[in-house]
Structure 1
Amino acid sequence: MTIEKEGKKKNFFSQNKFIFLSLLIFAFIAFYPLPYYITSPGDARVLDPIIRVEGGDKDEGVFMLTTVSVGTANIPQYIWAKLSDYREVIPAEEIRAEDETDEEYNQRQLQMMEDSQHAATVVAFQQAGKKVDIQYHGVYVTGIMSGMPAEKKLKVGDKIIAVDRNPVMETKKLLDVLAPKKAGDPVDLTILRGEKKMNVSLNIEQFPKKYIQDEGPKAGLGITSPVADVSIETDPKVKIDTSQIGGPSAGLMFTLEILDQLTEDDLTHGKKIAGTGTMDLHKNVGPIGGIQQKIVAADEAGAEIFFAPVEGNNYKDAVKAQKDIGSKMKIVPVKTLDDALKYLEKL
């Protein structure tokens, strides 16, 4: 009896050891992070509940923004993405700046979304001939290049308000002031870090070769994607609630929705219209990432028309995806807001 009990006891521990090791291996496979991100089709969100213009006009059709879902990859997700259509594996360095934390990346995306909302509001109000007052309060540091001067002296979230004691409140002004400077030139920045005002002295340095492109500056401080701190006063008032959606790619659709609510005309003509593309203050529509995944999201939401930027092969990629999934959705190329408005007028 004793020998039999001892055998059962050893067998019990042996089985438990196997289960424990299996659980460890499963946990490692399931949760071990890889240096990649997985992007997949997000959703197409109707903008009418997201954007509210005081006393705005209501229409039968809708404008929709489109999103791409982004998440860090583990081993099962990596394999699944490789075997799936319209799921893409992207190296982490192409999503986040070098040494950028997830928190800093998310903050940068949210600031870019806010900047997109401001540009869309200004353009829409100007297009409608309505009053809009713009005030600039400085330029946020949203990204820093590794190994460059800004890395040692600045932090993500710092707000630059002056360069060499001269006020700099807009992104363009900051870039214009720094552009003529050469490697070795000193730069004195006045910044706000929270409520604290500070002076920071740096020297312009040559960019590492991996950052240098054929066109553009060859030296700088290492500040990436600066975003202006802007406040806008409009009449009527506008409220935009995008929750945790980040990035600048909804600029065109924001502009169309605000303009649609500002005017009596039904820009949608009763149709479901999706799209993507950045919007600048000159009404130019800029390229974005993940357009094929946005085509899938828009088609699944029943969109009839999709506005796609011409730049960056966005339009060509959108048409390719539309044909690939057998969608009847009309893909419309746009370079400017006027292109979109002219198309809508013909509906």
Structure 2
Amino acid sequence: MKNKKRIRVLILAAILIVAPSFYFLPYYISKPGIAKELAPIIEVEDGYDESGSFMLTTVRMGRANIYSYILARFNQYHEIFPIEQIRAEDETEEEYSVRQLYLMDSSKYNAIEVAYKKAGYPIKYQHNGVYVLNVVKGMPAEDRLKPGDRIFKVDGNEFQSSAEFMDYISQKTAGEQLTLTVERNHKLHETSLKLDVFNDEENKGKIGIGIGLVDDKELIVEPDVTVNSKEIGGPSAGFMFSLEIYNQLVEEDLTRGYHIAGTGTISSNGEVGEIGGIQLKVIAADKAGAEIFLAPNQNGTKDSNYQDALKTAKDINTDMKIVPIDTFEEAVKYLESLEPKK
């Protein structure tokens, strides 16, 4: 009898300990992630090898439970963000994930464009329709379309861009029906929706089906390039992607034998932009043995990523060199000036 009572007490205690880990608070927690070599991720057909390495850096981010929240409160390098700072108003977890993956794809395309142009290779563009980023509650698309769906036909008519899609919609009136050809999980299906009037303040009075969308485009380049980013989300690896791609395209090895980490967005004109969590990425790079860290300089502003990276490097007492970067061209010139590692 006593054994049964003891077992019940132990089961109850286990439930009380484990249950809070499944109760999520309205916060996200970010912590140092990893620094990962890019050569195994990026492959330019017949590309050149490198003696050192370029590395992307990541942060680990997830919804906070009671335990992770308490831990983060007492850890200098765990950051707490209210949910509204991470996800847009009414944005679901699924929509947030799709948005992050889209931003990653965009960063890859920008990186390819910048690297191939710098290396002197031609680029062609192919437009394939639009991606659904989010679905508006209470509008016709709710429960019919999902974030990540690709739409490339309306009423049997193919279109290539969001501008063409919106132009077609603008000629319709509320109540008219549209038939969309949609690709989801590599399978095609058709769905019919009636146009309706938006009620939210931003779009009030406009006609639509209730989706946020972006262009689905791809770059056609030669030699071919493959970027296996898998489930890495967000745009912050774009800058380092561009360096790795360019380094495989040209004979001169920009790594000079060093392990070079970094972060930053990359625009199609080569500007390197601000990212979040730079402190956590410096820690990840240091743990991975990086010798140089390239940080967005934001044209020398006082609270730039570069300044935050410098402070963190000092705090953790690393020998890793922190280098301010504003553009892809500036990064290439800096790397070309490095003495080869002995």
TM bin, normalised by shorter chain, reads 0.7 to 0.9
> 1:98-117 to 2 correspondence within 5 Å?
98-117=89-108
Instruction: Give, as a single letter, the amino acid of the residue that structure 2 aligns with 1:250.
Output: A
310, 320, 339: which one pairs with 1:319? 310
The structure with more radius of gyration = 1
259, 276, 283: which one pairs with 1:296? 283
- Once the two structures are TM-superposed, the CA of residue 53 in structure 1 deviates from its matched residue by 0.8
Q: Does residue 23 in structure 1 map to residue 14 in structure 2?
A: yes
> 1:137-286 to 2 correspondence within 5 Å?
137-144=128-135, 155-159=146-150, 169-170=160-161, 173=163, 191-194=180-183, 195-196=188-189, 226-286=213-273
Aligned partners of 1:187 and 1:204 also within 8 Å: no
Alignment partners' CA distance in 2, 1:174 and 1:303 = 46
Change (3 A) 1:31 1:120: same
Alignment-derived partner of residue 332 in structure 2:
341
Change (3 A) 1:197 1:279: farther
102, 108, 125: which one pairs with 2:116? 125
**What TM-score do the two structures reach when normalised by structure 1?**
0.79
Change (3 A) 1:332 1:145: farther
- The structure where helix makes up a greater share of residues is 1
Any idea what the Cα deviations from partners look like across 1:208-252, whole Å, max 9, x if unmatched? 5xxx8xxxx99987755x443222222111111122212211111
Alignment partners' CA distance in 1, 2:205 and 2:265 = 27
Instruction: Give, as a single letter, the amino acid of the residue that structure 1 aligns with 2:182.
Output: R
Instruction: Give the superposed CA RMSD.
Output: 3.4
Q: Gaps spanning 5+ residues in structure 1: where?
A: 1-8
Query: Which has the larger displacement, 103-112 or 31-40?
Result: 103-112
Q: 1:233 is paired with a residue of what secondary structure?
A: strand
- Once the two structures are TM-superposed, the CA of residue 38 in structure 1 deviates from its matched residue by 1.7
Equivalent residue pairs, number: 325
Aligned partners of 1:97 and 1:144 also within 8 Å: no
Alignment-derived partner of residue 3 in structure 1:
none
- Once the two structures are TM-superposed, the CA of residue 99 in structure 1 deviates from its matched residue by 4.3
Alignment-derived partner of residue 68 in structure 1:
59
Alignment-derived partner of residue 57 in structure 1:
48
Between the two proteins, what is the percent identity of the paired residues? 45
Alignment-derived partner of residue 329 in structure 1:
320
Instruction: Give, as a single letter, the amino acid of the residue that structure 1 aligns with 2:12.
Output: L
- Once the two structures are TM-superposed, the CA of residue 206 in structure 1 deviates from its matched residue by 7.7
Alignment partners' CA distance in 1, 2:320 and 2:239 = 18
30, 37, 56: which one pairs with 1:39? 30
Q: Does residue 287 in structure 1 map to residue 278 in structure 2?
A: no
- Once the two structures are TM-superposed, the CA of residue 322 in structure 1 deviates from its matched residue by 1.6
Alignment partners' CA distance in 1, 2:160 and 2:7 = 65
Change (3 A) 1:263 1:205: same
Instruction: Give, as a single letter, the amino acid of the residue that structure 2 aligns with 1:142.
Output: L
Change (3 A) 1:147 1:283: farther
Query: Which has the larger displacement, 226-235 or 97-106?
Result: 97-106
Instruction: Give, as a single letter, the amino acid of the residue that structure 2 aligns with 1:243.
Output: K
- Once the two structures are TM-superposed, the CA of residue 301 in structure 1 deviates from its matched residue by 1.2
